């Protein structure tokens, strides 16, 4: 029996530790541990409600827009203005959020996950004229000449022995790695056109947005969006397909819990104040690998369990009643993440969940995108529940969102209102159900005497990287790893490829110290 410990698992956001017990080459048990404490719920207590949409963005530099949206939706509902947001406000929120989806998905594929499949060292022999490849080649050469492999980060250290892309595909993927940096800059610039700056934008506020649409801004946004759409169609999706062709066994690796959950995202109107029922581009719903049928979401069925988490607060509370009482010495606990559960069951969140829920709900464009992809691999929808299924769903979703953004942009009406008028009530309660790029995101707020009395956040990675719950049910990433065959225990590609297919983010945490400043934990970062 061997124990594989990957700590920290790099090329994700935040610090995740994975421990896998391997027997006869197969993972028998997995533990996923979030090694940083976030504590935003505690920071927000007693503060002005309007602080929530600014402070919670600091949960993460990758998905701040989603936290702004979830907080703002919670405030919209606590202030009684959820259905008063004007059309321009609704559309601009979607455009600011959509730009962040594109940025995040390109970031994930090229700069976080691709290095599991692409052998960058092949570029050392490059003799062509592509300036991006020349710069990577020179970067590699400098490290080689200096005899210092540490200078090769972020490309090494890495696992060895399973890079399969044909040379030409591999080298062009490295070129796209560099090109993708520019694409992410473009997406950030798009956000900033309507939200002031990125990351941590300032445009999304209760009632709508702060920025007016003008012909100039719409044109500038459209120009950048068209360049990104071209990149998604001509580069990103083909690269995902090329990886899938070379690593097709990963359509069967990393299946996971088989249950998918989406809160829905991108409001198409704001008439419905119950966000679990609101008309959205991505529909709210759940589905399962076993039946692939559509079922509605009931937000009352969400709980957070803490048996395996470093918290002494009660378990199985609905987030509207949630409590955050850290207890770093709790026996048998192994994660700072709580275990969100839906109706007591384990659910995966993310692009696969969104696309699959829309697929089973009958959304025709999503059905066509997925059916075409599956047909090209001779695969059935069951193949979606896998490492490659998650990558493919993310890339196809990126296209679906970007294509819709081009239409939304032309629905803006310069000169018309962008924000509703409102007064902040001294007491209120609200929930913001939304989808961050990585999946279902919920903010729950309660205010009293004009201040935040309670605030709870459940992020997508809390769903996906959660530890075992009160009934011992492992979280989605744990389930996806357990049962996997490991070809080489010294180079456990399978584990990191599975984890990174979920695109986890152990978001914006703080080092944990006691009130006296005593160090309670030490983390090796390499
Ligand atoms: Ni830090 Fe985030 C997204 C949120 S992660 S990246 O997407 O919410 O769980």
281 C-beta neighbours (distance < 10 Å), count: 21
Q: Which residues contact 423 (CB under 8 A, 6 or more apart)?
A: 79
Distance 505 CA to ligand 1 centre (A): 6
Q: Do 326 and 37 form a contact (C-beta atoms < 8 A)?
A: yes
Nearest CA to ligand 1 atom 6: 63
Q: 3-class SS at 155?
A: coil
Ligand 1 contact, 506 CB (< 6 A)? no
Q: Which residues contact 445 (CB under 8 A, 6 or more apart)?
A: 49, 52, 71, 74, 75, 78, 428, 429, 430, 431, 432, 452, 454, 455
* Percent helix, percent strand, percent coil in the chain, to nearest 5: 45, 15, 40
Cα 294 vs. chain centroid, distance in angstroms? 22
Q: Is 517 a residue whose pLDDT tops 80?
A: no
DSSP state of 283: P
- Exposure of 517 by Cβ count < 10 A (0-12 exposed, 13-18 middle, 19+ buried)? exposed
pLDDT tens-digit profile of 309-364? 999 999 999 999 999 899 999 999 999 999 999 999 999 999 999 999 999 999 99
pLDDT tens-digit profile of 322-332? 998 999 999 99
Q: Do 183 and 231 form a contact (C-beta atoms < 8 A)?
A: yes
Question: How far is residue 95's CA from residue 524's CA, in Å, rounded to a whole number?
Answer: 39
Question: How far is residue 99's CA from residue 266's CA, in Å, rounded to a whole number?
Answer: 12
Euclidean distance between the first and final Cα of the chain, in Å?
26
Q: 134-143, 220-229, 259-268, 427-436: which range is least confident on average? A: 134-143
Q: Is 198 a residue whose pLDDT tops 80?
A: yes
pLDDT tens-digit profile of 276-291? 999 999 999 999 999 9
Q: Given ligand 1 and candidates 457, 461, 503, 504, which is best to mutate, with the most ligand atoms within 8 Å of its CB?
A: 461
Question: How far is residue 449's CA from residue 472's CA, in Å, rounded to a whole number?
Answer: 40
Please report which confidence band the pLDDT of residue 507 belongs to, taking 50, 70 and 90 as the band edges.
Answer: low
Q: Do 324 and 39 form a contact (C-beta atoms < 8 A)?
A: yes
Q: Given ligand 1 and candidates 505, 506, 509, which is best to mutate, with the most ligand atoms within 8 Å of its CB?
A: 505
Q: Is 512 a residue whose pLDDT tops 60?
A: no
Cα dist from 184 to 189, 403, 502, whole Å: 9, 17, 20
Distance 64 CA to ligand 1 centre (A): 8
pLDDT of residue 96: 98
pLDDT tens-digit profile of 439-488? 999 999 999 999 999 999 999 999 999 999 999 999 999 999 999 999 99
pTM score: 0.95
Ligand 1 contact, 507 CB (< 6 A)? yes
């Amino acid at each position: 029996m061997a124990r594989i410990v990957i700590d920290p698992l790099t090329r994700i956001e935040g610090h995740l530790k994975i421990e896998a017990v391997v027997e006869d080459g197969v993972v028998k048990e997995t533990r996923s541990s979030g090694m940083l404490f976030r504590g935003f719920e505690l920071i927000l207590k007693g503060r002005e409600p309007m602080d929530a949409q600014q402070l919670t963005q600091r949960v993460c530099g990758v998905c701040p827009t989603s936290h702004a949206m979830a907080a703002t939706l919670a405030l919209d509902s606590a202030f009684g203005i959820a259905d008063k947001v004007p059309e321009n406000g609704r559309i601009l929120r979607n455009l600011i959020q959509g730009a962040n989806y594109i940025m995040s998905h390109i970031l994930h594929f090229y700069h976080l996950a691709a290095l599991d499949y692409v052998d960058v060292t092949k570029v050392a022999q490059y003799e062509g004229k592509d300036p991006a490849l020349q710069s990577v080649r020179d970067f590699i050469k400098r490290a080689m000449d200096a005899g210092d492999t540490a200078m090769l980060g972020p490309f090494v250290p890495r696992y060895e022995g399973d890079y399969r892309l044909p040379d030409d595909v591999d080298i062009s993927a490295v070129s796209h790695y560099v090109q993708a940096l520019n694409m992410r800059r473009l997406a950030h610039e798009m956000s900033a056109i309507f939200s002031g700056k990125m990351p941590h934008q300032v445009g999304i506020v209760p009632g709508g947005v702060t920025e007016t649409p003008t012909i100039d801004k719409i044109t500038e946004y459209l120009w950048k969006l068209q360049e990104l759409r071209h990149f998604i169609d001509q580069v990103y999706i083909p690269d995902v397909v090329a990886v899938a062709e070379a690593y097709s066994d990963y359509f069967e690796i990393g299946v996971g819990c088989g249950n998918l959950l989406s809160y829905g995202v991108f409001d198409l109107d704001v008439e419905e104040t119950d966000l679990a029922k609101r008309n959205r581009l991505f529909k709210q719903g759940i589905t399962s690998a076993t039946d692939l049928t559509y079922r509605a979401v009931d937000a009352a069925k969400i709980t957070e369990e803490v048996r395996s988490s470093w918290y002494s607060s009660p378990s199985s509370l609905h987030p509207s009643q949630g409590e955050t009482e850290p207890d770093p010495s709790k026996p048998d606990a192994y994660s700072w993440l709580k275990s969100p559960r839906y109706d007591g069951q384990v659910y995966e969140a993310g692009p696969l969940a969104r696309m699959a829920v829309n697929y089973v709900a009958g959304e025709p464009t999503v059905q066509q995108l997925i059916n075409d992809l599956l047909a090209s691999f001779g695969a059935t929808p069951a193949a979606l529940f896998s490492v490659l299924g998650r990558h493919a769903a993310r890339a196809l979703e990126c296209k679906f969102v970007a294509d819709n953004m081009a239409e939304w942009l032309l629905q803006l009406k310069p000169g018309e209102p962008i924000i509703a008028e409102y007064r902040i009530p001294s007491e209120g309660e609200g929930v913001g159900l939304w989808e961050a790029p990585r999946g279902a995101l919920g903010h729950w707020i309660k205010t009293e005497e004009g201040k935040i009395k309670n605030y709870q956040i459940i992020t997508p990675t809390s769903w996906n990287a959660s530890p075992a719950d009160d009934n011992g049910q492992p979280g989605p990433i744990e389930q996806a790893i357990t049962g996997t065959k490991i070809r080489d225990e010294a180079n456990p590609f399978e584990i990191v490829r599975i984890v990174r297919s979920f695109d986890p983010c152990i978001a914006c945490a703080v080092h944990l110290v006691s009130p006296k400043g005593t160090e309670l934990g030490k983390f090796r970062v390499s």
